[in-house]
Structure 1
Amino acid sequence: MTDISLPHRGRRYALTAICLLAALLYGWSWWTWGWGNSYYSAAVKSMSASVTTFLFGSFDPAGVVTVDKPPMALWPQVVSTWIFGYHGWALLLPQIVEGVAAVFLLHRAVRRWAGEGAGLIAALVLAVTPVTVAINRDNNPDTLLVLLLVAAAYALTRALRAGITPRRATGWLVLAAFLIGCGFTTKMLAAWVCLPAFLLAYLFGTSAPWRRRIGDLAAAGGVLLVSSLWWVALVDLWPGDKPYIGGSTDGSALDLVLGYNGLGRIFGGGGPGGMPGGGGMPEIPGGFQPPGSSGGDTPMPRGGGGGGFGGSSGPFRMFNEVVGGQISWLLPLALLIVVAAVVFAVRARRRGAVIVPADRGGWLLWGGWLLVNAVIFSFASGIFHSYYTTMLAPAMAALVGAGTVWLARRPWGTVAAMGAVAVTAVWAWVLISRDTSWNGWLRYAVLAAAVAAIAFLFIARRGTRTGPAVAAAVLIPSLLAPATWSLAYAFGPPDGNGVNPAAGPRNTFGGGMPAAGGRDTTGGRTPGPRPGGRGPMGGGTELTAEQRRILDYAVAHSGGARIKLAINSSAMGTAAYIMNSDETVIGMGGFMGSDDAPTADQLDRWVKAGELRYVLSGSGPERMMGAAQSRTTWISRTCTAVPATEYGGTEQSGTSFGGAQTLYRCGT
């Protein structure tokens, strides 16, 4: 593909500036953010306890239950805490590095396909996409997943380049498969969503004989299976004691792949009843429910059936009020570029024009990546969070980069560029107008920039040389709004919603939470973590004074018991106890509290063996789900409530989804 001209030194400086911008957006004041998603933050501490907890990704230091994802995304965070100590900023530092690395590698991949200018534009678009900025300032696994898939795309692009020897092409393809497999060990089937795009790109993006192509893909398939499933096989074939795999219905990693964390995300549900362990989705205290795409307070679907964290499923989910402001600013433009590329490819084929295989492979790779992910995310019936759409950002950025350069090098491109500016400006106006109380002025700034850009392009359409000026005219009004959202997020107050981070004025699980009176008073942002503060999932990052008294009492009176305190609560209600203690504290039931770990029989054995004496349990809604109900029944029948006066507390000792908790003494 042709490229817009840039001086060699200017290219280097431009890439450096973009990477520095990404580092600024992802890392500004990261040492003040707190702990991000406390579910993973607690697991990072627990994973430092032993080789087994590290390998399996245990949520608690005793190795009772794992997090509901494979552990690869947490391993760099664990290593960082080994080096710098257990601090929130140490957990988040690897995320910043991974985010910047993805920007850099996207440039290298797109540059080899569409030229230096396209690579720089793609890197810039990825760097300032709001959802990418939000997730890279958090410790969820999607940051590493995006990096691994962009690295795989770079390897595949190297395999497609003209003049490469067959052996080296095979090597690069196998490396791409290995990296996608690492993505599987990061977030399971989410990494495989891009596989059709990679497959088509190699099949039709190389001039190698068909026999060679099929053989290379077979070899890559073998590497993909091994690098994807080695952890699953290790877990399920492990001969000794091991943690229960959180999110599964039978404790196996394979069930997690095929159920709750795999096909369940697409088709809905997890275990029976829609959630792992057989429970349903509990109510959130206070009556709050995330809104659907219509903007009304629609109830959260049981079992995540409608993906309540990202609006209702359907063809327009990527553009709804929850997701649209995170990813869709340039999505209409990217889709139009894909359509234009298909039209021009068909016309070129009819004329008998020669299409460079590597160019075709690039369009198949990035276009397929965007379309497959967008379709699956749009129609997924399972649990869906708005930050999942960060997976669309690299492909969208690559297509916008290539498409912009393509227009900038053609005399008629200025006319198409005017249309592109108009489309993005109109859509930006719609997105911003959904909540004008948050930076509503921005829509007028975008409109003014778009009018100026269209006027410039109208004048420049008769010129013989366009290049960078046309590209700038398209990009400035197109990136003004998403860049502003990203800057506001990066330089605003720390986001207290580490479970589901999002930029912009979202009064939902996708961003800020409503204030007590129902009106958002934080500019659409949740205030930063505060001592004992609780998010919508019932969790906090620090212990209240009363929770500290409960923990200290249990530790002081447990004697030689291995487990000092067992908490019958969801993981988000347990995390603070693990994060703020060096003692062995465990949660029960995994993320939602509905996993069958530990069982009532296991609790009974621990108590009889003197390994456990104190349990903190409540009567909240999640205690009535599936396996949790049998644990709650066992506790109430077997253990004795400790009077609050013994540890200096009150009768309402703690909360779990808003329900009061009671400290129990078990055994003699």
Structure 2
Amino acid sequence: MHVPTRLTALRPTLRRVPPLAVLLTATAALYLWGLGSSGWANAYYSAAAQSGAESWRAFFFGSFDAAGSITVDKPPLGVWPMALSVRMLGLSSWSILLPQALMGVATVAIVHHGVRRATGSSPAALLAGATFALTPVAVLMFRFNNPDCLLVLLLAGAAVATLRALDSPRAVWWVTLAGSLVGLAFLTKMLQAFLVLPALALVYALFAVAPWRRRVLHLLVAVGATVVAGSWWVVVVELWPASSRPFIGGSQHNSALELVLGYNGVGRLTGAQTGAVSGPKGWGHNTPLRLFDPGSGGQASWLLPAALVLALAALWLSRGTVTRARPALVLWLTWTGVTWAVFSLMNGIFHDYYTVALAPAVASLIGIGAHVVWEHRAHAHATWAFGAAVLVTGLLALVVLWPQRGWIPWLPWLVGALVGAAVWRVLVAHRRAIPVGVGFAATALLAAYVGPAAYSVETASTPHTGAVPHAGPGGGSGPSYAEDPVGDLLTVSSSPPDLTRLLVRHADDFTWVAAVTGANSAAGFQLATDRPVMPVGGFNGTDPNPTLAHFRRLVADERIHWFVAGGGRYVPEDGGETQPVTRTGSNDAVRIERWVSRHFTPQVVDGVVVYDLTFVTTPLTPSQVPDR
């Protein structure tokens, strides 16, 4: 007689588990695995979250320090989830990084929903969700604390809301939601949020079932929602008395509107960003192939060529039909094209992790395009489309993996073999005039995903810190910087024990326990002491806050205890000597450090030069101590 075992009894239950639940659980495991190993990750935003958890005023403005000297150089929306998490759970790496990991799981669910609705296919939706979850830069960013996490979540939601509006009797509500989400995305990372607007507007104008006049009206409502949701914080800040709020970081005139139009606006495209800095090599080459070089290509571009091939083939094969897949393909293709063009050709600050904005589009195109082409696989054009998609994916994978062959030497050869096997099956199918089968599909999936999956596992298993994280092998600590407790332009300071004890001594008697040039240099000291530290000059050390006159007044009022020397430097990627950077904007930070060195006695604590600002060694003239 058969005796049921626990495993036998469990099988019917497992069969009832929705595939989406399995996908989301696996994604959560990948994004939460060893999450605390990255420490403060981007300490710049961790310090702002710490401050927001301590002060509602700092929370609202997105202030770097709880004392409210200066804001981060973005709107505060990306900091708010972290600050709330810290308020509830206490200050830790986990409490800061947990919201981003949950955002990643939510974005996978949104991508899955959008593809499922467009195709009616659960396998296609699962393929899209898995593609997004395994995109290396998505694994990187949703385990990190840059504002790109919330940006991608909001924009993916806006795209799916727009697609829902096309044939919904409540279209106006859906477009209002889409516009509001884009506006909130603007309050997360400003101008980058608007890269999706051409895609959303074009698809609604072309495919909505409403009459043309109503479509125009709906689009105007969506624009209004975007303006309201995206501008309210800017308006409040502009109307708020400047004397009772923090200086707006990233601006030169204490203006949120200037931040919108300049440093985080058109300046990103033209390179004319007052207040920005760059190393001797600037921000890399801006060409149409920027996203396909070995460094950038390993972030989000693994399946980008295949997504374009499959999407265009799907549009051709489904011509003359009315389906939900076609508007979805047009939306995600336009999203991909505009984002690709801007990222490739922009002259301003560009980092490889920005490409996480491509991940929802690429994943959706893969899911929808593969489904439509598979449905037409009896057509010769579908066979060739699958072959071309596999071939270009393999070529790009080899471009990315070959320079990294010392990491996993056999991986490029495995990818090459799988691609060769898949292409051979395509040729056989074409010669016999039969559609490609399940064997081809399995081989093609292995060929396409073994590379990004390996990169994703490597990314999840490696701690990432600093301002410029990078997915894949060797990207854990970003560039190799010289070791210095004060940090530099892009790496956080590390406060040694003796120095930390010195800084917190009599801390309650001062507004700021210390000041140091540059926000990354200030961040480590602030997180270590749990006391406000003033980042002189903001993130880059180029903001006019405080001015030299204002700093002298604060020193005279004994509101700053210590000054830490050596912050805000630039160290090249090869770890060599400090090099000068190209700086635009205020030079007050340089003047402040020179003034301090002339009038106060240096001390060396744990290898760090500090000045006690309450003990003047060179008498100050009346002109050096402004009237209060």
8 Å Cα contact 1:504-1:511 kept in structure 2: no
Structure 1 counterpart of 2:363, which letter? A
Say which SS state the counterpart of residue 432 (structure 1) adopts.
Answer: helix
Structure 1 counterpart of 2:292, which letter? F
2:383 aligned to 402, 409, 414, which one? 414
Deviation of 1:25 after TM superposition, in Å, equals: 2.2
* Cα distance in 1 between the residues matched to 2:419 and 2:23: 23
The 3 A distance-change label for structure 1 pair 566 and 396 is same
* Cα distance in 2 between the residues matched to 1:228 and 1:367: 25
What TM-score does the superposition give when structure 2 sets the normalisation length? 0.87
1:210-229 residue pairs with structure 2 within 5 A?
Answer: 210-229=212-231
2:510 aligned to 552, 558, 561, which one? 561
Say which SS state the counterpart of residue 480 (structure 1) adopts.
Answer: helix
The 3 A distance-change label for structure 1 pair 631 and 434 is closer
Q: How many residues align?
A: 589
Deviation of 1:15 after TM superposition, in Å, equals: 2.0
1:598 aligned to 526, 532, 546, which one? 546
1:489-528 residue pairs with structure 2 within 5 A?
Answer: 489-491=459-461, 493-495=462-464, 497-506=465-474, 512-514=478-480
Structure 1 unmatched ranges of 5 or more: 1-8, 284-298, 302-307, 517-529, 655-660
The 3 A distance-change label for structure 1 pair 170 and 128 is same
Structure 2 counterpart of 1:603, which letter? F
Say which SS state the counterpart of residue 642 (structure 1) adopts.
Answer: strand
* Cα distance in 2 between the residues matched to 1:130 and 1:419: 23
Is the counterpart of residue 434 in structure 1 residue 403 in structure 2? Answer: yes
Deviation of 1:402 after TM superposition, in Å, equals: 1.2
Q: Deviations over 1:221-249 (max 9, x none)?
A: 11110001111111111136111111111
Partner of 1:193: 195
Structure 2 unmatched ranges of 5 or more: 1-13, 571-579, 620-628
Partner of 2:18: 13
The 3 A distance-change label for structure 1 pair 71 and 620 is closer
Deviation of 1:613 after TM superposition, in Å, equals: 4.4
Partner of 1:368: 334
The 3 A distance-change label for structure 1 pair 637 and 328 is closer
* Cα distance in 2 between the residues matched to 1:396 and 1:454: 22
Deviation of 1:425 after TM superposition, in Å, equals: 1.5
Structure 2 counterpart of 1:537, which letter? L
* Cα distance in 1 between the residues matched to 2:143 and 2:76: 19
**Identity of paired residues, percent?**
37
Deviation of 1:321 after TM superposition, in Å, equals: 2.6
- Between 22-31 and 333-342, report the one with greater CA deviation: 333-342
Structure 2 counterpart of 1:320, which letter? D
1:465-614 residue pairs with structure 2 within 5 A?
Answer: 471-491=441-461, 493-495=462-464, 497-506=465-474, 512-514=478-480, 534=487, 537-540=490-493, 542-552=494-504, 555-556=505-506, 560-567=509-516, 569-614=517-562
Deviation of 1:182 after TM superposition, in Å, equals: 0.8
Say which SS state the counterpart of residue 66 (structure 1) adopts.
Answer: coil
Is the counterpart of residue 244 in structure 1 residue 247 in structure 2? Answer: yes
Deviation of 1:392 after TM superposition, in Å, equals: 0.6
8 Å Cα contact 1:546-1:653 kept in structure 2: no
1:154-165 residue pairs with structure 2 within 5 A?
Answer: 154-161=160-167, 164-165=168-169
Is the counterpart of residue 74 in structure 1 residue 89 in structure 2? Answer: no
* Cα distance in 1 between the residues matched to 2:562 and 2:477: 36
Is the counterpart of residue 404 in structure 1 residue 370 in structure 2? Answer: yes
The 3 A distance-change label for structure 1 pair 59 and 35 is same
Partner of 1:142: 148
2:591 aligned to 633, 641, 652, which one? 633
Partner of 1:326: 299
The 3 A distance-change label for structure 1 pair 460 and 620 is closer
Deviation of 1:55 after TM superposition, in Å, equals: 0.4
* Cα distance in 1 between the residues matched to 2:569 and 2:60: 32
The 3 A distance-change label for structure 1 pair 212 and 503 is same
Say which SS state the counterpart of residue 262 (structure 1) adopts.
Answer: helix
1:300 aligned to 263, 278, 281, which one? 281
The 3 A distance-change label for structure 1 pair 514 and 100 is same
8 Å Cα contact 2:542-2:588 kept in structure 1: no
Say which SS state the counterpart of residue 434 (structure 1) adopts.
Answer: helix
Deviation of 1:619 after TM superposition, in Å, equals: 8.3
* Cα distance in 1 between the residues matched to 2:237 and 2:371: 48
The 3 A distance-change label for structure 1 pair 123 and 22 is same
Say which SS state the counterpart of residue 402 (structure 1) adopts.
Answer: helix
The 3 A distance-change label for structure 1 pair 613 and 354 is closer
Deviation of 1:501 after TM superposition, in Å, equals: 1.6
The 3 A distance-change label for structure 1 pair 199 and 312 is same
Is the counterpart of residue 23 in structure 1 residue 28 in structure 2? Answer: yes
* Cα distance in 2 between the residues matched to 1:570 and 1:210: 53
Structure 2 counterpart of 1:86, which letter? L
8 Å Cα contact 1:333-1:400 kept in structure 2: yes
8 Å Cα contact 1:617-1:663 kept in structure 2: no
Superposed CA RMSD in Å reads 3.0
Say which SS state the counterpart of residue 323 (structure 1) adopts.
Answer: helix
What TM-score does the superposition give when structure 1 sets the normalisation length? 0.82
Deviation of 1:207 after TM superposition, in Å, equals: 2.0
Deviation of 1:430 after TM superposition, in Å, equals: 2.2
Q: Deviations over 1:451-480 (max 9, x none)?
A: 333444556666978676654343221111
Partner of 2:573: none
Q: Deviations over 1:338-384 (max 9, x none)?
A: 44355557xx4xxxx3434x443212210100000000000010000
Say which SS state the counterpart of residue 512 (structure 2) adopts.
Answer: coil
Q: Deviations over 1:301-324 (max 9, x none)?
A: 2xxxxxx2xx31111001013201
The 3 A distance-change label for structure 1 pair 320 and 606 is same
* Cα distance in 2 between the residues matched to 1:395 and 1:147: 12
Q: Deviations over 1:513-570 (max 9, x none)?
A: 3488xxxxxxxxxxxxx99595772423x41134325414xx43x7833333222x11
Partner of 1:203: 205
The 3 A distance-change label for structure 1 pair 666 and 594 is farther
Is the counterpart of residue 449 in structure 1 residue 398 in structure 2? Answer: no
Deviation of 1:406 after TM superposition, in Å, equals: 1.6
8 Å Cα contact 1:142-1:388 kept in structure 2: yes
8 Å Cα contact 2:248-2:256 kept in structure 1: yes
8 Å Cα contact 2:82-2:99 kept in structure 1: yes
Say which SS state the counterpart of residue 580 (structure 1) adopts.
Answer: helix
Partner of 2:120: 115
Q: Deviations over 1:257-288 (max 9, x none)?
A: 111112111111311xxx35xxx44x5xxxxx
* Cα distance in 2 between the residues matched to 1:145 and 1:207: 29
Q: Deviations over 1:374-427 (max 9, x none)?
A: 000000100000000000111011111111112211213334323322221222
Say which SS state the counterpart of residue 70 (structure 2) adopts.
Answer: coil
The 3 A distance-change label for structure 1 pair 10 and 374 is farther
Is the counterpart of residue 315 in structure 1 residue 288 in structure 2? Answer: yes
1:355 aligned to 299, 315, 322, which one? 322
2:605 aligned to 649, 652, 657, which one? 649
- Between 14-23 and 317-326, report the one with greater CA deviation: 14-23
Partner of 2:7: none
